[in-house]
Amino acid sequence: MRVSGLALRKSTRRAILIWAFLAPSLLIFLLYRILPLAWNVVLSFQAWSPMKPAVFIGLDNYQEMLFDDDVFWQALWNTFGIIASAPIGIAIALGLALLVDSNIRGRDVYRTIIFLSYPLMTVAVAIIWRWMFDERVGLINYVARAAHLVDKPIPFLNSFTWALPSVIAANIWQMLGFYMVIILSGLQTIPGNLYEAAGIDGANAFHRFIRITVPLLRPSLFLCFVIGMLNSVTSFDLVYVMTGGGPGRATEILVTYIYKLGFNQTRFDYAAAVTVTFFILLLGITFLANRLSGGNAGAVERD
Amino acid sequence: MDRRRVLKTGIAAATTLFAPAYLHAQSNKKLSILTWNIADQEALFKEEFADFKAANPGVEIEWLDKKGPDLPAFYQTQLVAGTAPDIVDLQGALWVEWAANGAILDLTPYFQADPEFAKLFNADYLSSWVYDKKNYLVPFYVSKTLLFYNKLMFNVAGLSAPPANFDDILKFSQAMAKDEKTGFITLNFDWLYWPLLKMNGIELLTPEMKKPAFNTPEAAAVVDRLAKATEAGAINKIAWTGRWVEPNGAFSSGTVGMMHAHSAAYFFVKGQGRWINRDSLGAVEMPGDWSTPTNHGFAISKSSKNPELAFALIKHMTSNKWATKFAGIRRVLTANIAADKALLAAVQEEDPLAHAVLQTQLAHTDKMTGNWPLPNDAQIKDAFWPELQNALLGRKDAKTALADAERAVARVLRRS
Question: Hey, is the C-beta of A264 within 8 angstroms of any chain B C-beta?
Answer: yes
Question: Ramachandran region of residue B186, left (φ > 0), alpha (ψ -120 to 50) or beta?
Answer: beta
Residues of A in contact with B411 (CB under 8 A): 68
What is the second-level CATH architecture of the domain A66-292? Orthogonal Bundle (1.10)
Residues of A in contact with B98 (CB under 8 A): 51
Where residue A5 falls among pLDDT bands split at 50, 70, 90? low
> Which one, of B403, B385, B369, B392, lies nearest residue B222 by Cα?
B392
User: With an 8 Å Cβ cutoff, are B395 and A248 in contact?
Assistant: yes
Cα–Cα distance for residue pair A105/B123, rounded to 1 Å: 75
Question: Hey, is the C-beta of A228 within 8 angstroms of any chain B C-beta?
Answer: no
Per-residue pLDDT tens digits for A125-146: 999 999 999 887 889 999 998 8
The residue in chain B having the minimum alpha-carbon distance to the alpha carbon of residue A151 is B179
Query: Residue B367 has what DSSP assignment?
Result: G
Residues of A in contact with B393 (CB under 8 A): 158-160, 247-248
- pLDDT tens, position by position, for chain B (416 residues)? 555 565 555 555 554 544 444 444 444 588 999 999 999 999 999 999 999 999 999 999 999 999 878 898 899 889 888 899 999 999 988 899 999 988 999 999 999 999 999 999 999 999 999 999 999 999 999 999 999 999 999 999 999 999 999 999 999 999 999 988 999 999 998 899 999 999 999 999 999 999 999 999 999 999 999 999 999 999 998 899 877 888 999 999 999 999 999 998 998 999 888 999 989 999 999 999 999 999 999 999 999 999 999 999 999 999 999 999 999 999 999 999 999 999 999 999 888 999 999 999 999 999 999 999 999 999 999 899 999 999 999 989 999 999 999 999 999 998 77
The residue in chain A having the minimum alpha-carbon distance to the alpha carbon of residue B409 is A69
Cα–Cα distance for residue pair A196/A191, rounded to 1 Å: 9
Residues of B in contact with A55 (CB under 8 A): none
How many inter-chain contacts (A to B, CB under 8 Å) are there?
Answer: 62
Query: Residue B129 has what DSSP assignment?
Result: T
Residues of B in contact with A265 (CB under 8 A): 378-379, 382
Nearest to B386 among A68, A159, A249 (CB): A249
Question: Taking the mean position of all CA atoms in its chain, how far away is CA B134?
Answer: 20
Nearest to A158 among B237, B255, B408 (CB): B237
Cα–Cα distance for residue pair B325/B309, rounded to 1 Å: 22
Per-domain residue ranges for chain B? 24-143+294-353, 145-291+376-415
Q: Which of B79, B374, B389, B414 best probes binding to A when mutated, by most A CB atoms within 10 angstroms?
A: B389
Question: Hey, is the C-beta of A52 within 8 angstroms of any chain B C-beta?
Answer: yes
Per-residue pLDDT tens digits for A9-54: 888 888 999 999 999 999 999 999 899 999 999 999 998 888 788 8
Query: Residue B366 has what DSSP assignment?
Result: G
User: With an 8 Å Cβ cutoff, are A263 and B73 in contact?
Assistant: yes
Residues of B in contact with A52 (CB under 8 A): 101
Peptide bond preceding A247 in cis form (omega within 30 of 0): yes
CB hemisphere CA count around B54 (13 angstroms): 7
Query: Do B24-143+294-353 and B145-291+376-415 share a fold?
Result: yes
Distance from CA of B103 to the nearest CA of A (A): 6
User: With an 8 Å Cβ cutoff, are B241 and A157 in contact?
Assistant: yes
The confidence score (pLDDT) of residue A3 equals 52
Per-domain residue ranges for chain A? 66-292
Distance from CA of B69 to the nearest CA of A (A): 9
**What CATH number does the domain located at B24-143+294-353 have?**
3.40.190.10
Whether A230 shows a pLDDT value over 60: the answer reads yes
CATH match for B145-291+376-415 among 3.30.1280.10, 3.90.1640.10, 3.40.190.10, 1.20.200.10: 3.40.190.10
User: With an 8 Å Cβ cutoff, are B101 and A49 in contact?
Assistant: yes
In what helix (H) or strand (E) does residue B358 lie, and over which residues does it extend? helix B352-362
